[in-house]
A = this chain, B = another copy of it.
Amino acid sequence: MNQTVDFYFDFSSPYGYFSSEKVEEMASRCGATIVWRPYLMGVAFRLTQRKPLFQVPMVKEYSARDLERVARYDGTEFKIPSPFPIATVVACRAYYWLSQQDMLNAKKFATKLFRAYFIDNRTISEAAVVIEVAGQVGVDVKRLTEALTKPDVKKLARTATNNAIDKGVFGSPFFIVDGEPFWGHDRLPHVEAWVTSGGWWKEAEHLFTPKLCP
């Protein structure tokens, strides 16, 4: 089977980062293709009247521990960056500009950008940092710098965000496979179960039988 999994995330989301480090392994295991779709989660936060984790009392203290623990559990290198969260509109524009030319390299770029923020504490809200990271995956830095000033490139982040919201996306990470939405890094095993079983959710006879999937 070759199923497409849409992987929505915000470059400033730590759980999005955790999934970015696991999602391609998962895809190889079950023969799926992952389409990486960064967007600006702030817009979704406004629609759902929610706040970033670190702005919610009690949840804030908890989240700091959970993040470090998930990193350890997953074996993913991670440090809570500062400032956090940050604007990711330039990162998003650069990603889509690049993905129009070379989807695979765009994924490499996204991976490096995530690591720059969540391992090396680089301020990936700044165009200079985004461009530098793009350079590391062989992107023509001059062309990207120029592209980022163009109106049609500037529009790419907004368009991606509108498209995500239209699909019901409101968090990061957020996966859609076969029309079915999955929210959260902890739902990756569910996504995998969905793909490997050909959509157990839809099979009425599978209702309430013991777990079907590995």
Taking Cβ atoms with an 8 Å cutoff, the residues of A that contact B are 44, 47-51, 56-59, 61-62, 65-66, 68-78, 168, 170, 180-184, 186-187, 190, 193, 200-201, 206-211, 213
Contact, CB under 8 Å: A72 / B170: no
A57, A58, A190: most-surrounded residue (chain B CB, <10 A): A58
Contact, CB under 8 Å: B58 / A170: yes
CB nearest to A200 among chain B residues:
B72
Instruction: Report copies per complex.
Output: 2
Contact, CB under 8 Å: B65 / A58: no
The answer to whether A72 and B168 touch (CB under 8 A), given A66-B183, A181-B62, A181-B65, is no
A71 contacts which chain B residues (CB < 8 A)? Answer: 208
The answer to whether A209 and B48 touch (CB under 8 A), given A62-B183, A190-B69, is no
A190 contacts which chain B residues (CB < 8 A)? Answer: 69-70, 73
The answer to whether A48 and B57 touch (CB under 8 A), given A208-B78, A211-B73, is yes
Residue contacts A-B, CB under 8 angstroms, 22 given: A47-B57, A48-B56, A48-B59, A49-B51, A49-B56, A50-B59, A59-B170, A62-B170, A65-B180, A68-B201, A69-B190, A70-B190, A71-B208, A72-B201, A72-B206, A72-B207, A73-B190, A73-B211, A73-B213, A76-B208, A78-B208, A186-B186
A168 contacts which chain B residues (CB < 8 A)? Answer: 58, 61-62
The answer to whether A58 and B62 touch (CB under 8 A), given A73-B211, A193-B73, A208-B75, is no
A213 to chain B, nearest CB (A): 7
Contact, CB under 8 Å: B58 / A48: yes
